[in-house]
Structure 1
Amino acid sequence: MDQDGVAVVIGASGGIGAALLEGLQARGRFRFVLGLSRPELDLTDHGSIAQAARRVGAIGAPGLIIVASGLLHGPGIEPEKTIRSLDPAAMATAFAVNAIGPALVLRDFLPLMPRDRRAVFAALSAKVGSIGDNRLGGWYSYRASKAALNQIIRTAAIEMRRTHPQAICAAFHPGTVATGLSGKFSKTGLQVQQPAEAAAALLDSIDRLTPEQSGSFLDRFGAPIPW
């Protein structure tokens, strides 16, 4: 990674986002490590994304951008057990946070990334967003919005090869982490990690990424996940 550049964690107020921010600060590989979260950067507020990008650009070229935000449940939003449970407003909110917001981050932050050296854009996706791995059904809005995010990352990686040949764009499944997002849905027997543990594995994998892996969907250890 660029020891003299800028690292940005979007969603730094969340459990895994805060752990990623702390991990980057502890590793000391970037001169500036910035954490952005609501209300400073709200993924559902397009203006706040553009404004945050301008602030980051005034500091320097970001060599690492991690989008660690995500929405599984919230007021009036719960993972659907059946198709009959679909609510269009809840589904639109899931897409706004999990897919459209990260796409707009790419739109406004990609031009800031260095063109002459390695840079990484990483977004936290979810294994349940894998179409090929879906064997249980349910969770329509979350699955579909994360699958959309994966397609956005894949498509952006193709564009980045033309404009930023040394850059890497990848989606990561962090595993099941003891946070407010997944806590009440963690089943007995699953390997549940603490945020710091998941963050350390993710940062290690980001360190190992090569340009050939741009456009990949990976687990926290860097192993490919089926689309």
Structure 2
Amino acid sequence: MTESKKRALVIGSSGGVGQALMSALQGRGFDVTGLSRTGQGLDITNEGNVSDVFGQLDGSFDQIVVASGILAARSGPEKSIGAVTGDELAALFAVNAIGPALILKHSKHLMPRDRRVIFAALSARVGSIGDNRLGGWYSYRASKAALNQLIKTASVELRRTHKHLICVALHPGTVATPFTRDYPQHTSVAPKEAADNLLNVMEGLTPEDNGSFFDWAGKQVPW
């Protein structure tokens, strides 16, 4: 009897990291489905749209990866509290925190209960409150910290019904994409390398890692 292919779902599949994850997963034998605004019209900030798109998906997935996110919306990362605006905060929270929360909500029916399943959202080390030494980047930091709390909280609830669930936040490092091209001072890696690093981490996770925050090398990041 031939074993069926594992299935993966990548949200944000049109972005640099999302595309690389799609390719890397396919290279590892996964049947991969991608969702993005440009490809499938997915608007993660609109719950009705999220519900409609995810309601059209059948079966279950062994890995669900949220690779969507923005670094800045209107004004760029803030260096001081004086530069913070409500519009920038709201825009980043909508994409970086609210969007993944809606995806979690509407993908629950796609998570198998009888076997290992990973739900991973790409976060950022700067979203760590415990690791914040430099300050600045208020909206991005706060939105990723909110994402981390949502992942942690969902990991507690969903584990009650999905015993084999691994719900985690992952820091991919600085990836050389249009997302980061205005910040050359940060050492970056190619999307393909970042994707392989992330998949290597995910392959090594166990249900005991549920509710954790890891970097691209598999090291735990403080909340």
TM-score (norm 2): 0.95
Q: For 1:77 and 1:44, locate their aligned partners in 2 and report how far apart those are by CA, in whole Å.
A: 19
Q: For 1:171 and 1:159, locate their aligned partners in 2 and report how far apart those are by CA, in whole Å.
A: 16
Equivalent residue in structure 2 for 1:163, among 161, 164, 172: 161
- For residue 131 of structure 1, report the CA deviation from its aligned partner: 0.4
Q: For 1:105 and 1:41, locate their aligned partners in 2 and report how far apart those are by CA, in whole Å.
A: 10
Q: For 1:78 and 1:69, locate their aligned partners in 2 and report how far apart those are by CA, in whole Å.
A: 18
Counterpart in the other structure of 2:201: 205
Equivalent residue in structure 1 for 2:215, among 211, 214, 219: 219
Aligned-residue identity in percent:
54
Q: 1:76-125: CA deviations, max 9, x gaps?
A: 23100111111111110100000000000000001221000000000000
Contact 2:72 2:88 in 1 (8 A): no
Counterpart in the other structure of 2:181: 183
Contact 1:176 1:192 in 2 (8 A): yes
- For residue 5 of structure 1, report the CA deviation from its aligned partner: 3.9
- Provide the aligned C-alpha RMSD in A: 1.3
1:137 matched to 2:138? The reply is: no
Q: 1:178-224: CA deviations, max 9, x gaps?
A: 0111221131xx43100000000101111111000010000012110
SS at match of 1:13: coil
Q: For 1:167 and 1:3, locate their aligned partners in 2 and report how far apart those are by CA, in whole Å.
A: 20
1:73 matched to 2:69? The reply is: no
Q: For 1:4 and 1:13, locate their aligned partners in 2 and report how far apart those are by CA, in whole Å.
A: 23
TM-score (norm 1): 0.93
Q: Give unmatched runs, 5+ long, in structure 1.
A: none
Q: Which amino acid aligns with 2:67?
A: A
- For residue 6 of structure 1, report the CA deviation from its aligned partner: 2.4
Distance 1:162 1:79, change over 3 A: same
Q: Give unmatched runs, 5+ long, in structure 2.
A: none
Q: 1:32-77: CA deviations, max 9, x gaps?
A: 3111100521111212211121122x2x111110000111124x23
